Amino acid sequence: MERCQVLGKISDEPKRLTRTFLSPAMRRANQLVGRWMREAQLKVREDALFNLIGRWSSSQRHARTIIVGSHLDTVRDAGKYDGPLGVLIALAAIEQLRAAHCTLPFHLEVIGFCDEEGVRYQSTYLGSRALAGRLTKTDLDLCDAQGVSLRNSGIGKVETARRQPRDTAGYVEVHIEQGPVLESRGLALGVVNAIAGQTRVALKFVGSAGHAGTTPMDLRRDALTAAAEFITAVEMSARGGLLATVGQLTVQPGASNVIAGTAELSLDVRHQNDAARKRACQALRTRARDIARRRGLRCTWHTLQETSAVKCDKGLTRLLGESVRTLQPRVNLMPSGAGHDAAAMASLCPIGMLFVRCKGGVSHHPTESVNRQDVAAAIAALTEFLRRLKARHV
């Protein structure tokens, strides 16, 4: 918890917590957590994407690797625990195993991924997708707000970060729940059985700017009113387990007495069923085009990211459940509506996830909060899980 407080002070903005991919704060965070990893006797390095990796090598040279961890980047104006808590809980579990003079039949790595939130390039899981071999040429051509492409951001050769399935036995991530379910059921921990699929889209309505006092209402080509109509349609579409959100809206020229000529907005669509998510996205794309055509506008639709829903590995989920059951009376198996690095890692290896209760289900906000007892339980559960995993491998 003290480490979370210290790490939470490392930010690119003076009065709020923001750490984005390859920013100065992100580099300082890697240096600090890397120091803690070395103190835990781990061999520390950064890969081509600047994922931070601490490795505990097994005496069995040809053993496979188990990866535990989460991400160290944040959203803008973030809380202290989304991502970093999972990295630090993994490190604490390793410290406990080290203190008990434990040996492992597998290599064990803690990874602090460089970019899960996708703030800088509007495309999530850059670090974990690099490990899984899923970064494409299109991804490398993505540009940030300053026009700097990912390819030219200072990263190394992406292919060198890629892991092979034959070498990677599994990935386990601890994360705050980001929802109210555990709190409502009086449970400190939950075990994730699936992660919802996600689509991210950038839309633009292009009309014509004009004087607010001289352009008749019936002759306007107002991009903002088109965007407003679409946003309402997005909200109305969110039924039957579908989650749909417009979180960003940029209007130009942006003056109080000028009709909006362009409106750019983001769209985030999630569902545990990929077919349902894709149907919703297609329906919303058709709706956006219809709105634009009826209002005499142009509309562009650019899919930034599509992540399929994934199921957690039954074996790892069972072991996590057994470990949690030693600490609390029952195990809550639950899906994750939020995306995680585990979703990207699922294409590389079996995955498992452990949720930690958070106050009010609040995340992506400075008021994000967890209590010490729940964190202690998560450390104990992950430590027990690794012991059970060791016994299974022996």
pTM here is: 0.82
Closest CA to 206 of 230, 222, 228: 222
Tell me what pLDDT residue 306 has: 87
Compute φ and ψ for 342, nearest 5 degrees: -55, -35
Tell me what pLDDT residue 264 has: 98
Site of tokens 């992540």: 307
Closest CA to 132 of 356, 340, 344, 328: 344
Residues present in the chain in total: 394
pLDDT tens digits along 117-129? 999 998 889 999 9
Closest CA to 114 of 81, 55, 65, 155: 155
The Cα diameter of the chain in Å comes to 80
pLDDT at 29 over 80: yes
Query: Helix %, strand %, coil % for the chain, to 5?
Result: 35, 25, 40
Spatial neighbors of 47 by CB under 8 A, at least 6 apart, are 53, 130, 131, 156, 160, 161
pLDDT at 304 over 80: yes
Q: Which amino acid is at 68?
A: V
Under 8 Å between Cβ of 31 and 23: no
pLDDT at 6 over 90: yes
Tell me what pLDDT residue 335 has: 87
Cα 356 from Cα 352, distance rounded (Å): 14
Pairing type for strands 197-206 and 298-307 reads: antiparallel
Percent of the chain residues past pLDDT 90, beyond the cut: 94
Cα 354 from Cα 332, distance rounded (Å): 10
Count the neighbouring beta carbons within 10 Å of the beta carbon of residue 295. Answer: 17
pLDDT at 340 over 80: yes
pLDDT tens digits along 352-370? 999 999 999 999 999 999 9
pLDDT tens digits along 199-233? 999 999 999 999 999 999 999 999 999 999 999 99
Pairing type for strands 168-176 and 351-356 reads: parallel
Tell me what pLDDT residue 388 has: 97
CA angle (144 as vertex; 138, 146 as ends), nearest 5: 135
Count the neighbouring beta carbons within 10 Å of the beta carbon of residue 89. Answer: 29
